Amino acid sequence: MDGWLARLVLAEAAATAPARSAAAAVPVFARLSAREREVLAVLAEGVTNQELADRLFISERTANRHLSNIFTKLGVRTRTAAARVAIEAGLTG
């Protein structure tokens, strides 16, 4: 994961009260399809939508649709919040 994204995720997590635990993220995370989990893992690395699409061999439009579905299922509004869920769920390396 890029250093700037990790710092941003940690800063946002510290600013939220109360902090969400990894256990709380797992049930929400389980709602995602296998492909959505794959997309989320790549997103958590701090890539752009085009880089995400290129890496997963999909169009940018498909990447955007996956992200929209992920945001809805996770109940988040930002890429940073989605990345935080991925980190809390242990999806990132």
- Any idea what the CATH number is for the domain that residue 23 is in? 1.10.10.10
Mean of pLDDT values over 56-79: 96
Evaluate whether residue 21 is within a structural domain: yes
Evaluate whether residue 14 is within a structural domain: yes
How many domains does the chain fold into?
Answer: 1
d(CA 59, CA 40): 16
**Whole-prediction pTM:** 0.70
d(CA 14, CA 63): 29
Which structure tokens are listed for 83? Answer: 């990345």
Evaluate whether residue 93 is within a structural domain: no
Please write down the HEC assignment for all residues of 32-78. Answer: CCHHHHHHHHHHCCCCCHHHHHHHHCCCHHHHHHHHHHHHHHHCCCC
Tell whether the model's pLDDT for residue 86 goes beyond 70.
yes
Instruction: Summarize pLDDT for 3-57 with one digit per residue, the tens.
Output: 666 666 666 666 654 555 554 545 677 889 999 999 999 999 999 999 999 999 9
